[in-house]
Amino acid sequence: MNAGQGRTVDNAAGSRPARRSFLAALLGLGAAVVGAVLSVPLIRMVLYPLLRTTTPESWSDVGSEAELGSASTPARKTILVEQRDGWRKVVSEKPVYVIKDPNGQLAVLSAVCPHLGCLVAWQADRDEFICPCHQGHFGADGKLLSGPPPRGMDRLDSKIQNGVLQVHYQYFRQLVPDKEVIG
Amino acid sequence: METDNSRSNLDNAADSAEAHGGLFSWLDRRTGLNSLLHIALDEPVPGGARLAYIFGSGLLFLFLSQVITGVFLLLYYVPAADHAHTTVAYITKAVTAGSFVRSIHAYGSSAVIIVLLLHMTQTFLYGSYKGRRDLLWVAGCVLFVLMLGMAFTGYLLPWDQKAYFATTVGTNILSEVPFVGGALKSLLRGGTEMGTLTVSRFFVLHVFAIPACIFAFVGIHVYLFRQAGAAGPIEPSKHPAELFYPRQVLLDVGFALAIMACLGLLAHYAPTELGPRANPADTQYIPRPEWYYIPIFQWLKYWHGALSVVGILVIPGIVALALLLLPFFDRRPERRPWKRPIAVTIYAAVFIALGILGGLSHRNDMRDPSTAAQIARQDKDEKVFMKEPFQPDLSGSSVAAVNTALTTDPLAAKGKTIFEAQSCNACHGDGGVGTAEAPKLVGVSAKFDIKKLEAILKQPSTAMVQGGMTPTDLKDEDLKALIAYVESLK
């Protein structure tokens, strides 16, 4: 390949083929190295959204501890979840259920069915959560009773701060037996 | 039939020969790469390679750098008045290497102007526009105007204070054009006032229309250059003609590397800043254009009333036309600058005059204490804004969600009525979105906690008092509600 290149350049220029092709190779190599260096900031710019460390954990208010603690059945609450979408901040409403765990502590369940993502409804008369899409049945504590869902309703991290119940809203992978965070 | 067969046999034979000749030879036969390289690289340079000839390729290199960095900036930029500033702030403050790439692009625009002037001056001094190179010069002049157009349209896009006000003044100049001035201005702005449609128009001009013209004219310019051949040295040279490759190529590459190194160092150590978001209601702001427009800006100050048409249109028009048509009335074959004293003197005089105008503008600004103070204040505002962390935009639908949520918090709801009863919204805007009189309160909770907010409300800082803020005199429970409301504004 080099010989061919050298010969043609030689024909055109009529002088010192070896030196010319060596210089051409050096120039080509130099251009490749400089080009690679120059493209580093551009590549970093493109990859920024992918390599960005996750947004700081955000906690959403659910309601006051006193009010929720006095309710007996699971209570449906709508929370506001703040998410970053590039340069925008999106605040969206998400439904959750507040229950009491066996120790009497407040706990928060995601209303998203772990089967295919429909919103599960609390049926007070039957004392069960029922998913309207494919008839998944869950107990008042969120445990799976019957139906196609692979696991019980997903419990969200929650804490109590200054008398207010707060929840860290997350999505979980559907159709798998174990709870797995996806965002 | 027979000839077809024999041709395909020949093709086959050629194909197998190519296989023996290696990859390059095959590629060459398919694409004509070698002859293309030959055309590009083996152009004779009369009198040998020189540093004086590096500016043209330097400009081409800079233009490509602008195109590439521009494309990457488009990954994040949104051309609309309500998002442009946020997205540029995002590029500058959040995106990795975003500030660096934006700085290369911004400084690159200045570099284009500098190298353009050098290229034009070299061409002028060498008398290279003469004779068969007349059209080549004209195409170059068109490219000059297109580049100035790129600088002008790109300046508005970040939609910060200086972008907004400099472009307001810049577009106002158009209304000096007799008869159609107002219409021209509205056409460029997309309305009588500057707004989101102005951003759209400037964006389309900056990203599609003008670059398309530049690509076309660069093609024409290079074609005409090759058609006419290089002008060579001013006086017959002892040196024989030399091919473009390798020595001139090496000089050009060295210049491109030097440009890149300068831009890289500037972008790294003195990144381009972004000012606060454009506030059309600001009556204090003193706009100043980029340095290369400052002499024109100063020039325009001297023309008032009926004469302004002369100063703004007629005289610059004559200068531009004289420059454009230079090769057609300067037809003497003489190229040595010392034998062309009139032409060289006029050329130098124009640039010295521009330099003096620029100096006068700077001196006027510095001598007037109120102007100097306001410009210093603007610079400080810019520094302050650059230090603030990036604030994301709240999407439209989210505002409704937050407002609905507010009604569920009785304390904040009470605070809202107090906010309105105390006329806080008169200056800080409904919902604390901010006005020309006072800054926005949305997102203030990130800066001040409840205690700090309470202290500030009771006893505002000197700067706040100067801005018209009055100390709040409320009962403790009302103050608590007001703070709850202000803290809820996100």
Tens-digit pLDDT profile for residues B33-49: 888 888 888 888 998 89
In a domain, A178, yes or no: no
Position B402 scores a pLDDT of 63
* Distance in Å, alpha carbon of B191 to nearest chain A alpha carbon: 28
Token output for A47: 């990859």
Residues A152, A93, single domain; the answer is yes
Output b/e per residue, B360-387; b: 16+ Cβ within 10 A.
bbeeebeeeeeeeeebeebeeebeebbe
Asked if pLDDT for residue B192 goes beyond 70, the answer is yes
Q: How far apart are the first and last CA of chain A?
A: 53
Residue range B300-345, pLDDT digits in tens: 889 888 888 898 889 999 999 999 999 998 889 899 999 999 999 9
Q: Is the pLDDT of residue B140 over 90?
A: yes
Of chain B, the percentage scoring pLDDT greater than 70 comes to 92
pLDDT in tens, B423-474: 787 778 777 777 767 787 877 877 788 888 888 888 888 878 877 787 888 8
CA torsion sign for B477, B481, B486, B488 is: positive
Of residues B9 and B141, more confidently modeled? B141
Question: Of A33, A51, A69, at which residue does a domain stop?
Answer: A51
A170 touches chain B (CB under 8 A): no
Chain segment B223-237, per-residue pLDDT in tens:
999 999 888 898 888
The count of domains in chain A is 2
Beta bridge partners of A63: A165
Residue A7 is predicted with a pLDDT of 37
Q: What is the rounded CA–CA span in Å between residue A38 and residue A43?
A: 9
For residue A1, the model assigns a pLDDT of 35
Q: Of B105-109, B176-180, B213-217, which range is least confident? A: B176-180
Top-confidence residue, B447 or B189: B189
3-state secondary structure of A87: coil
Question: Which one of B96, B392, B405 has the shortest CB-CB distance to A45?
Answer: B96
Q: Of B234, B283, B41, whose CA–CA distance to B126 is shortest?
A: B234
* Average pLDDT of the segment spanning B15-20: 50
Question: Nearest-CA distance from A58 to chain B in Å?
Answer: 13
Question: Are residues A43 and A65 both part of a single domain?
Answer: no
Q: Which residue in A90, A80, A153 sits closest to A121, CA to CA?
A: A153
Q: What is the pLDDT of residue B3?
A: 45
Whether pLDDT at B13 is above 60: no
CA distances (Å), origin B183, targets A81, A125, B156, B180, B316: 48, 71, 20, 5, 21
Q: B331: how many CB neighbours lie within 10 A of its CB?
A: 9
Same domain, A32 and A73: no
> Which of A4, A46, A80 lies at the smallest CB-CB distance from B401?
A80
Residue A109 counted as domain residue: yes
Tell me, yes or no, whether A37 lies in a domain.
yes
pLDDT bin (cut points 50, 70, 90) of residue B405 is: low
Spans of chain A, pLDDT less than 70: 1-17, 53-57, 183
Residue A179 covered by a domain: no
Structure tokens that stand for B285 in this block: 């702001």
Q: Nearest CA to B482 among B446, B454, B455, B459?
A: B454
Residue B98 and residue A47: Cβ atoms within 8 Å? no
Q: Which residue of A has its CA nearest to B86?
A: A87
Q: A106 and A41 in one domain?
A: no
Query: Rounded to whole angstroms, how far apart are CA atoms B63 and B148?
Result: 13
Has residue A182 been placed in a domain? no
A50 Cβ under 8 Å from any chain B Cβ:
no
Count of C-beta atoms within a 10 Å radius of residue B13: 10
pLDDT (average), residues B121-127: 95
Put simply, whether A56 touches B (Cβ < 8 Å) is no
Contacts of A31 in chain B (CB under 8 A): 253
Q: Residue A64 has which token pair?
A: 């006051």
User: Is the same domain home to A75 and A152?
Assistant: yes
Q: Please give the average per-residue pLDDT across B241-248, as a whole number.
A: 90
Cβ-proximal residues to A163 (8 Å cutoff; 6+ apart), any chain = A64, A65, A66
What pLDDT is stored for residue A96 in this prediction? 92
Q: What percent of chain B has pLDDT over 90?
A: 59
Q: Hey, is the C-beta of A12 within 8 angstroms of any chain B C-beta? A: yes
A33 touches chain B (CB under 8 A): no
The pLDDT value given to residue B411: 82
Residue B275, pLDDT above cutoff 90: yes
Q: Which two tokens stand for residue B53?
A: 């000839």
**Residue B123 near residue B169 (C-beta atoms within 8 A):** no
- pLDDT tens for B338-388 read 999 999 999 999 999 999 999 999 999 999 999 999 999 999 999 999 999
Q: Per 3-state DSSP, what percentage of chain B is helix, strand, and coil (rounded to 5)?
A: 70, 0, 25
Domain of residue A45: give its range: 2-51
Q: Is the domain of A71 the same as that of A98?
A: yes
CB spacing of B72 vs A46 below 8 angstroms: yes
A135, A127, A91, A129: which is closest to A111 by C-alpha? A129
Same domain, A70 and A37: no
The pLDDT assigned to A183 comes to 61
Instruction: Say whether residue A41 is in contact with chain B using an 8 A CB cutoff.
Output: yes
**Same domain as A113, residue A76:** yes
Note whether A87 contacts B101, CB cutoff 8 Å: no
Looking at CA atoms only, how far is residue A45 from chain B in angstroms? 5
Q: How far apart are CA A151 and CA A13, in angstroms?
A: 77
Q: pTM value?
A: 0.79
ipTM for the predicted complex comes to 0.77
Question: What is the helix (H) or strand (E) element at residue B399, kind and residue range?
Answer: helix B396-406
pLDDT at residue A3, as a whole number: 38
Six-digit token pair at B394? 């709240």
Q: Report the residue from A1, A24, A84 with minimal CB separation from B23.
A: A1
Distance CA A56, CA A49 (A): 15
Choice among B46-60, B378-392, B468-482 with the minimum mean pLDDT: B468-482
- The answer to whether the Cβ–Cβ distance between A87 and B28 falls below 8 Å is no
Residue A19 lies in a domain: yes
Domains (ranges, CATH) in chain B?
2-40 (no CATH), 47-385 (1.20.810.10), 396-488 (1.10.760.10)
Residue-by-residue DSSP string for B277-319: BP-TT-SS------GGGHHHHHHHHT--GGGHHIIIIIHHHHH
| Residues A149 and A110 both lie in one domain | yes
A176 within some domain: no
A26 in reach of chain B (CB within 8 A)? no
Asked whether the predicted pLDDT for residue B155 surpasses 60, the reply is yes
Instruction: Identify the burial level of A104 via C-beta atoms within 10 angstroms of its C-beta, where 0-12 means exposed, 13-18 middle and 19 or more buried.
Output: exposed
Q: pLDDT tens digit string along B70-99?
A: 999 999 999 999 999 999 999 999 999 999
* Res. B176: pLDDT tops 60: yes
With 70 as the cut, is the pLDDT of residue B66 above it? yes
Q: Tell me whether residues B42 and A12 touch, CB distance under 8 A.
A: yes
Contact of A85 with chain B, judged by CB distance below 8 Å, is answered with yes
Average pLDDT for B399-419: 70
- For residue A144, give the CATH number of its domain: 2.102.10.10
3-state secondary structure of B237: coil
Together in a domain, A163 and A83: yes
CA distance B60 to B40: 14
Kindly state whether residues A88 and A21 are assigned to the same domain.
no
Judge whether A29 lies within some domain: yes
Do A144 and A72 share a structural domain?
yes
